């Protein structure tokens, strides 16, 4: 059971669910419907878990060639590929049914689009082009749209602001990981940017550019009545710290500095979400 749980990547799923909950929170009007939120999180969690499982099923040969992933359940031989495929498929079907029947059609369609674009576009593209990171950022930023659609039944500017924040946040996060494990990716034939351009200059420029772009986009909630102006202070501080970590890796492309960007990204998003929720509560939303 631990191996099947590992296939679902729970450490990534919790971040997806957090983003979904933020979308739901800003999409709801009136009293918060906790039962609907639970169904939304359950459906999204099942979809995310199934997608992670099928991704590992597809990449099992590449995973076997990497030190970082060689001991995952499928390449290590603890879960048979067919069993993993059926398990992942069952999770996706269950998640889609949960969203369609217990939430609404829009959230289910967005969830389906997320799964399809991740598995049919992003996953196979990783071994063909470094542009896979950009393609993968689209399904990666979908969770708040699922949550917002579950609560509101439509997508408004507020939903797309949340989408844009996560979309931009992913680039420094994943390029830092790609730089840290570039040798592993090269060994597996995965064409991440640091593999294609080993000197890391393009990677560090991408990290810096997207960290800078994230700062003004993260301020938009205050200008769309999602928060008050007090939210601007923590957003600017968090953005400044994130940019500082990006500047360090741009100046000196070391493993330590790349790890610093990764650490900053993992801290940044939950704290920004916390600032969003606390300030919106101050407004009485």
- pLDDT tens digits, 234-247: 999 999 999 999 99
285 has pLDDT over 90: no
* pLDDT for residue 284: 53
Q: CA-to-CA distance for 173 and 193, rounded, in angstroms?
A: 13
The secondary structure of 144-176 as a DSSP string is: HHHHHHHHHSS--HHHHHHHHHHHHHHHHHHHH
Residue 255 C-alpha from the chain's centroid: 22
Per-residue pLDDT averaged across 37-56, rounded? 97
Q: At which of 120, 155, 190 does a domain end?
A: 155
3 shares a domain with 138: yes
Residue with more model confidence, 198 or 50: 50
Q: CA-to-CA distance for 240 and 249, rounded, in angstroms?
A: 15
**Contact, 133 vs 195, CB < 8 A?**
no
* pLDDT for residue 31: 85
Average pLDDT, the chain: 94
* pLDDT for residue 282: 62
Find the domain containing 170 and state its range.
Answer: 156-285
Per-residue pLDDT averaged across 6-31, rounded? 94
* pLDDT for residue 283: 58
Least confident of 177-191, 233-247, 262-276: 177-191
129 shares a domain with 219: no
144 shares a domain with 31: yes
128 shares a domain with 3: yes
Q: At which of 139, 155, 171 does a domain end?
A: 155
| Reported confidence tier of residue 133, pLDDT bands at 50, 70, 90 | very high
186 shares a domain with 73: no
Per-residue pLDDT averaged across 264-271, rounded? 96
Per-residue pLDDT averaged across 65-80, rounded? 92
| Reported confidence tier of residue 200, pLDDT bands at 50, 70, 90 | confident
21 has pLDDT over 80: yes
Q: CA-to-CA distance for 151 and 32, rounded, in angstroms?
A: 9
175 shares a domain with 109: no
Residue 269 to residues 68, 167, 169, Cα–Cα distance (Å):
24, 12, 8
**Contact, 210 vs 171, CB < 8 A?**
yes
**Contact, 263 vs 244, CB < 8 A?**
no
What percent of the chain has pLDDT above 90? 85
* pTM (two decimals): 0.93
């Amino acid at each position: 059971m631990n191996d099947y749980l590992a296939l679902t990547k729970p450490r990534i799923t919790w971040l997806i669910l957090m983003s979904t909950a933020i979308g739901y929170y800003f999409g709801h009007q009136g009293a918060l419907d906790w039962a609907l939120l639970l169904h939304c999180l359950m459906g999204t969690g099942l979809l995310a878990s199934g997608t992670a499982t099928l991704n590992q099923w597809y990449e099992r040969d590449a995973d076997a060639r990497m030190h970082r992933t060689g001991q995952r359940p499928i390449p290590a031989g603890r879960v048979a590929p067919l069993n993993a495929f059926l398990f992942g498929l069952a999770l996706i079907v269950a998640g889609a049914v949960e969203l369609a029947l217990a939430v609404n059609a829009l959230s289910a369609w967005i969830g389906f689009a997320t799964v399809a674009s991740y598995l049919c576009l992003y996953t196979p593209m990783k071994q063909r082009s470094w542009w896979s990171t950009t393609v993968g950022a689209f399904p990666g930023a979908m969770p708040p749209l699922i949550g917002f659609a579950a609560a509101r039944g439509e997508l408004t500017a507020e939903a797309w602001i949340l989408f844009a924040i996560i979309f931009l946040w992913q680039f420094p996060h994943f390029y830092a990981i790609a730089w840290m494990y570039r040798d592993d990716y090269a060994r597996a034939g995965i064409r991440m940017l640091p593999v294609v351009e080993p000197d890391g200059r393009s990677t560090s420029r991408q990290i810096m550019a997207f960290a800078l772009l994230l700062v003004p986009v993260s301020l938009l909630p205050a200008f769309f009545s999602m928060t008050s102006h007090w939210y601007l202070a923590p957003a600017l501080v968090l953005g400044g710290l994130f940019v500082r970590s990006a500047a360090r890796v741009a100046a000196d492309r070391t493993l330590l500095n790349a790890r610093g960007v990764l650490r900053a990204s993992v801290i940044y998003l939950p704290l920004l979400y916390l600032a969003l929720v606390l300030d919106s509560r101050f407004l009485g939303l």
